Structure 1
């Protein structure tokens, strides 16, 4: 569930966001210095106009050409300072904001890499894509303008107040008495705009997730001619997004309209009250002109804050959603005294291991005891939901056990570094994931930095070299999004080549041939048998004929390991495995 930002929470977010300025503190300080210079230059103009007007009305003879040129030269100098300061703020200040955005995106990606499978089990990838891209776009403007705009507004309001008080305290107090009402109206609409902006961000993430789901499954959509269904689903989400933005802009309209009203109110207060004060001799005409100019400065400052409000809401929403990801706990990490696992023979022991997922609390594995010797080929069979994949996912610590211990060569896997543990374990899965890139890059992923000779050798062992050479550009052939340009058998052999290149002592085969046709299965099965030779192998089997030669077959159900033995031993028992095997034979006979 999304966290909401209260006023206290907003202050807390800003405090947490502030350390990102630390690396760029001197840039920020100079940016604020430049902001102060531009503000001083702006505040100086009404004083200059007042001085000229005062001399013109009260002592026209003193308004000499020399005086006018001196005043004009001073203003030109101030304007040149203003131009230089503005250039720095608009260029280097924005670059600072971009650097902060880049740092935050780097930190978020690094944090996502550390999160466990359980986080991704419960989070839509489209939402995460939105957070790491769109949500951080506004950080550049927010990081730059947030301190700058408030600093400028503070100087202008305080500076104008002090200067105007030197002319007439009562008139100044009358003018500034309007500001609290203006602020109250702004806060009223601001609060509602912020709520709508948060909803907008959330719904945008939902749209991203829906689009990603639909486009990745475009072949399924087209095969069922369900384009109208997808369009309808998208239109519903798109319409919700429209309704959120429409309401947000209604509040924005109220926000700006109220500011327009208070603009006019402040001008008319100055004109009427100023005229009365001037009639009574409390101020002179030049001071009334200065008041009007300072009111313009004040209103322009408020307008800039109004314009910045949208950036502020966008930035705060992005910061909030950034920290929602950063606050996701890293459930699986290295122990403080974790050591490299070193050379691994491949003995794997499950000692009273139990496991349940956090979301529903249902126990998937209960009190599993298993002792696997190096080089053994262990096959896992049983009904869906029996925990076969979960058991294998516990070995590389994709999830942590809720009870019991897993040891490799006698070492508790929680006492060794995750990298060294996972470096010693190879995976070949049913759903092969190929990255967008070349065949060579996808195989090399098993051992980053491997030479082309090593990649080719691994491909030959996987039985993939021949078909790769037959591709349009050989090993440099682009495989497409998720390997869409290759057949299932070809993708599987590339994943096996990747595992050969990694050369792990422990291997996990997760139904690696179940989605293949008979011919592809025969080729891939031969590659898998070659890959498994001499390694401790866990095979999750769907096609039971592929595991007849396993060292030991485990029948895993929701009650735990119900049967264990070789194919021949289990067939003689005529238990669960016997029934599964007979059913499989009958099913395959029916399909032939």
Structure 2
């Protein structure tokens, strides 16, 4: 499938980002104009020097013109410096703005978007693709403008000096233009494939590096190595295609340029030998420079156009994310300052995949200050309830209320500020323990963190680490055990002082000592606060005010531990008895 040669609509959209930098934008164009004039002026001055001063042996005139040529060269260098510097600076300012806008937009996406989009692909869009957009300005647009202006000015000088020799050059140009056109189209298709393969490689490498422990644990090194070789080979082939097109185009362009120069010298030389006064030695000297200044930019325009195409392909990918509105979370208008903690689900239905319901008409009522537990088999829909309460996903039908207010009416930031979650799979950033606890919230002081750590009994553990609260846990908290990471996550929830606390399998993967600390802290933090505990280990939730038993997306039982455990052939009783028997064994 052949790609469009140039997307004008996309290009105009990119140019809109230059508006905050109009002064620099027009400054670059101004220096492009001056650069083309000064560059074309040098060969003309050379002709004048040869014909008017070297041939007549006028030493004073020769010195004067050489001085002028020196001044022109200095002005050309000055224009070139500011042209290149400002063009690159403009490109970097623009991608800074786009990257900020892109990241902010990604923060607004629902969790569903990240479920369906590879992380490596998003990293590629946010880093390398956006960096490529800068090359539209630093290596593409303005370079093309400069080269085209230079060609126009050069042609004006050439026609003014010797129109006969100029027509020889003009006749050769359509051939190079035609070849350049073909080259541009082929390269755009090739570069599109390159970007696809780069994204695929980034996704593969990111996933395998993140999951290296699983790869090694299950002896998948050889298999993953072969997969990587295959992906790398496709990436290699995509780049080789671009190299192949370059290898064909540039030698052909050089041959055309050399043949044209030869034709000019031959034609001009014969006319000089015949005594033609319209052709001079100065013409031949200057035309050897003019032809290079005319053909090289034309050849380089193809190369610069490739940079623009790469940048526009990258921009198109970035704008695809910026234009993704269907996955953006809709924000409410009301601010949730503090919840009493009354929660109500009314006939809530939801599915992660269309026509596959996970929750099938859930009705749930939680009073303020209650501690309720939700139990059930894997896939019953326990964690889904928590995801919907935090509006990580939008329900298909029904309604969820907190303090008799639909959660869709609340601003997302204020809603989630009032709800703290401790997950089974704890994520820690490559940062200090203190920053992982506060998440860089300046309103939470170190003293408050230390006081909270003492209350739940983890202060000694943290102080035992090198650097204490300033200990760097590295990426994903690899320097800590799973139990230690869980304690940090619990402390993170504790210091946020939430109205509603959620523990999602928070004690399923920790040791007995850590679990005792968690149980001690749970009593403190849940006192007078609405709490929802999701657990497989039923021993941890026997004292809950109410236990909700779920199966296949529905609530099948509800009551206290004593009520449910005495219910003959009840789902909870069977679950409890089987787990108790396993613990005894």
> Aligned residue for 2:445?
451
- Inter-partner Cα distance in structure 1 for 2:327 and 2:176: 48
Q: 2:390 aligns with which of 364, 387, 396?
A: 396
- Inter-partner Cα distance in structure 1 for 2:584 and 2:275: 110
Q: 1:202 aligns with which of 181, 196, 217?
A: 196
DSSP 3-state at the match of 2:565: helix
User: How much does 1:557 deviate?
Assistant: 2.7
DSSP 3-state at the match of 1:252: helix
User: How much does 1:274 deviate?
Assistant: 4.6
2:434 matches 1:460: no
- Inter-partner Cα distance in structure 2 for 1:328 and 1:175: 50
- Inter-partner Cα distance in structure 1 for 2:532 and 2:173: 73
> Aligned residue for 2:30?
33
Q: 1:328 aligns with which of 324, 331, 355?
A: 324
> Aligned residue for 1:126?
120
> Aligned residue for 1:157?
151
> Aligned residue for 1:255?
249
- Inter-partner Cα distance in structure 1 for 2:456 and 2:174: 75
> Aligned residue for 1:287?
283
2:4 matches 1:6: yes
> Aligned residue for 1:301?
297
DSSP 3-state at the match of 1:554: strand
DSSP 3-state at the match of 1:522: helix
> Aligned residue for 1:533?
527
2:332 matches 1:315: no
2:500 matches 1:502: no
In structure 1, list runs of 5 or more residues that go unmatched: none
Question: 1:511-543 deviations in whole A, cap 9, x for unaligned?
Answer: 111112334333323323332222212222111
User: How much does 1:280 deviate?
Assistant: 9.7
Give the direction of change, closer, same or farther, for the CA distance of 1:176–1:35 in structure 2 (3 Å limit). same
DSSP 3-state at the match of 2:487: helix
- Inter-partner Cα distance in structure 2 for 1:349 and 1:493: 30
Task: Answer yes or no: is the 8 Å Cα contact 1:382–1:556 preserved in 2.
Answer: yes
2:51 matches 1:54: yes
Correspondence list, 1:9-88, <5 A:
10-55=7-52, 61=56, 64-88=58-82
User: How much does 1:281 deviate?
Assistant: 4.7
Give the direction of change, closer, same or farther, for the CA distance of 1:460–1:5 in structure 2 (3 Å limit). farther
Correspondence list, 1:321-470, <5 A:
321-329=317-325, 331-335=327-331, 338-357=333-352, 359-445=353-439, 447-470=441-464
Correspondence list, 1:93-104, <5 A:
93-104=87-98
2:573 matches 1:584: no
User: How much does 1:455 deviate?
Assistant: 0.3
Task: Answer yes or no: is the 8 Å Cα contact 2:3–2:185 preserved in 1.
Answer: no
DSSP 3-state at the match of 1:341: coil
Question: 1:187-230 deviations in whole A, cap 9, x for unaligned?
Answer: 22222222222222222222222222222223333333443333
Question: 1:481-509 deviations in whole A, cap 9, x for unaligned?
Answer: 21111121111111111111001011111
Task: Answer yes or no: is the 8 Å Cα contact 2:53–2:62 preserved in 1.
Answer: no
Task: Answer yes or no: is the 8 Å Cα contact 1:381–1:388 preserved in 2.
Answer: yes
Task: Answer yes or no: is the 8 Å Cα contact 2:53–2:61 preserved in 1.
Answer: no
- Inter-partner Cα distance in structure 1 for 2:267 and 2:360: 83
Give the direction of change, closer, same or farther, for the CA distance of 1:455–1:116 in structure 2 (3 Å limit). same
Task: Answer yes or no: is the 8 Å Cα contact 2:420–2:502 preserved in 1.
Answer: yes
Query: What TM-score results when the alignment is normalised by the length of structure 1?
Result: 0.91
Query: What TM-score results when the alignment is normalised by the length of structure 2?
Result: 0.92
Report the count of equivalent residues: 582
CA RMSD of aligned residues (A): 2.6
- Inter-partner Cα distance in structure 2 for 1:199 and 1:387: 41
Q: Report which stretch shifted further, 197-206 or 507-516.
A: 197-206
> Aligned residue for 2:512?
518
DSSP 3-state at the match of 1:133: helix
DSSP 3-state at the match of 1:177: helix
Give the direction of change, closer, same or farther, for the CA distance of 1:43–1:452 in structure 2 (3 Å limit). same
